[in-house]
Structure 1
Amino acid sequence: MPEMLFEVRWPDGALQTFYSPSLIVQEYLEAGREYPLADFVDRVRTAMGVAEVRVRAKYGMGCSMAPVAVAQVEAVQAELAAAGLADGAVRVERFRT
């Protein structure tokens, strides 16, 4: 199954790279586009859920990295909310395969 990395810039300016076990993430996020933080988190949750189903269907077991990506995104969301940046936008910088 093709996998990819996607790089995002958080509202605080930090850059972070995440793993997706499937190219499906490109159907939920677009490089160069900004998303409100809550919307970005929802899109990542959905994309990783779909990726997990695809991996499970193909290999008979899920990918442990999909829930890790979701947990990482949610952790940053909580940190940003605590810093008063919950209304900020997340920019998807690029995808890499």
Structure 2
Amino acid sequence: MPEICFQIQWPNGSEETCYSPSSVVKDYFMPDSEYALDDFVERSHTALKIASDRVLAKYGMPCSRALGQLQRIEATAAQYSHLSQPKVRFIQFLE
């Protein structure tokens, strides 16, 4: 199960490197693309939940790092929910 990191840019211009224990995130994001904030959070939730479930199936426990990453994404996204049409830029996968 190849883990992968990816780099994003929040609506305020700050960048963050995120973690997934599985390359399944490649099915949900394209490099150098923008996503509406809600869409980005929904895609992140789906991808990181699938990734954590794959770890659960293989090792008998969910991936706490993936679930923690999802919590950080949701908490940070909440800071921008008041903006009109906030976007998250998906910069790249870091392999």
- Scaled by the length of structure 2, what TM-score is found? 0.94
CA RMSD of aligned residues (A): 1.1
SS in 2 for 1:13: coil
- Runs of 5+ in structure 2 lacking a partner? none
Q: Which residue of 1 aligns with 2:93?
A: 95
Once the two structures are TM-superposed, the CA of residue 80 in structure 1 deviates from its matched residue by 1.3
The answer to whether the 8 Å contact 1:37/1:86 transfers is no
2:29 aligned with 1:29: yes
Counterpart in the other structure of 1:45: 45
Partner of 2:9: 9
Find the counterpart in structure 2 of residue 54 from structure 1: 54
Alignment gaps of 5+ in structure 1 = none
Aligned pairs, number: 95
C-alpha separation between the residues in 1 aligned to 2:21 and 2:72? 15
For residues 54 and 21 of structure 1, what CA distance do their matches in structure 2 show? 9
Contact (CA 8 Å) 2:53, 2:63: kept in 1 or not?
no
Match of 1:64 in 2: 64
Q: Tell me if the contact between 1:77 and 1:86 (Cα under 8 Å) persists in the aligned partners.
A: no
Give distance in 1, aligned partners of 2:54 and 2:66.
11
Distance change (3 Å), C-alpha of 1:86 and 1:18: farther
- Deviation, structure 1 residue 86: 5.4
Return the letter of the residue paired with 1:36.
A
Question: TM-score, with normalisation over the residues of structure 1?
Answer: 0.92
Using the alignment, how far apart are the partners of 1:11 and 1:56 within structure 2?
33
